[in-house]
Structure formats: C-alpha cells, structure tokens
Amino acid sequence: MNGSRIPAVLPIVETLFSYLREHPEELLRVLRNALALRFGVPIAGLRWLAGRVKGKRAPKDVVIQAVPPGVRVGAQIDLMGTAVRASAIVFVESIRIEPETLRVELRLAEVSLKLVDESAESPIAALLKSGALDLSKPGNLAAYMPKRPALLVEAKDDRIVIDLMKHPKFASDTRLKRALGLVVPLVTIGAIETDPEHLDVAFRPLPKGVSEVLRGVRRAVGR
C-alpha cells in the first residue's frame, strides 16, 4: 500500500525541487520565516495544486491571486446544476484551534457570480440574470442555504464562520482531538495573510502559558 503512494508523491517532490532550483531565494525566505515562526507557501504552488484536483465536481479553471492581506480565488463551479464563474477575495479574520474546535472566521469581498452560459435556464440562472442576489452580503445568502452544512456555524453580511470539528469525520476522530490537545498548548496559528507572491501562516508559541502546556499533556495521556 505504501509503495502505491510513492508514484503519486514523486511529481510533487520533483516539482518542488524544480521550483527551488529556479527560485533559490525561496530557501533563504524559508530560513527567515522559521526564525520568525512563519511558514510561507508560494502562490504559484497553490495554483499548481489546484490544477491537480480532478473529479466530476471539482472546480475548473481555478485562479488564485494574492490581494494582501487576502487572496482572490476564482473558479468555474456547478451551482445547483448551473455552471457559474465564482470569484471572491478571502480574508482570514481569526482562527481558534482547540481540541474540540477548529474555528475559522472569513471575510469575503468583491464576490462575483457569472453565468458560464448566458442562455442557461434554471432558478439560479434566473436569479443571476435578474440581479436579485445581493452579493455584497454573501453571509446572508449562506445563512439561508436550503442544505446548510453543519460546519457553517455563523454567516452574516460579509462574514462566514466555519468550525471543521462540526464535520462528522473530524468530530469522531479521537486521535485528532488527542493530537490537538498536545500541540495547541505549545503553538497555535496566529494569522494567515499574503504578500504579492506568498501565503504566510504565522504561528504563536505558548498561547496560554506553560501551565496550559502541562494541563494539555495530562489530558492527552489521560491522567
């Protein structure tokens, strides 16, 4: 089984080394970031990964562009049976990570939904053609989704809050909760933001002090 994963990983490794050969300055940036407890991902690398996502329902023609401190994401998607071109600038406002919570607050700006085929006939197509959707407040639209996912815990105006631990797959994963119990007292994510060419994740060490580290270890080992 492990051997079957190697061919799938090799293109990623080869692409990484090829990118580093063409951009040796990235190695120096990695070292500087490590000292500052930051981890940066080239936007070009995110575009490459997005292009590798395959499947019948996978987004097509994905565009990822830094709009500091946010990132513009666009793609062709299937929205309730209608092909649309969706785009928005995404800002990560806050992140809260605990053993029972993986909560991310997002702010969306410049939201756009355009029909791929102007001759399409469907309820979504009719709404987009009429201009009845208020895309300046995407949170309000998400709040009234007919099949609102459990991980969408808040949605209002231009803000959307998701909690990944509300997803059944994550909520039932005891190993994930135990790992978070050990890691979160040591380090957590302080911010996610961009510069013109990178998406940077800033880490914050000992967010609740040394005493919380000791309590987290005791909880994780069941003492």
pLDDT tens by residue, 102-135: 999 999 999 999 999 999 888 889 989 998 888 9
Q: How many CB atoms lie within 10 A of CB 33?
A: 17
Spell out the SS3 assignment of the chain: CHHHHHHHHHHHHHHHHHHHHHCCHHHHHHHHHHHCCEEEEEHHHHHHHHHHCCCCCCCEEEEEEEECCEEEEEEEEEECCEEEEEEEEEEEEEEEEECCEEEEEEEEEEEEEEECCCCCCCHHHHHHHHCCCCCCCHHHHHHCCCCCCCCEEEEECCEEEEEHHHCHHHHCCHHHHHHHHHHCCCEEEEEEEECCCEEEEEEEECCCCHHHHHHHHHHHHCC
pTM of the complete model beyond 0.75: yes
By residue count, the chain amounts to 223
Residue stretches of the chain with pLDDT short of 70:
1-16, 19-20, 207-223
Residue-level pLDDT at 158: 95
Q: Tell me how far CA of residue 39 lies from CA of 11, 132, 199, in angstroms.
A: 22, 41, 8
Residue-level pLDDT at 99: 81
* 17 class by beta-carbon count within 10 Å (0-12 exposed, 13-18 middle, 19+ buried): exposed
Residue-level pLDDT at 100: 87
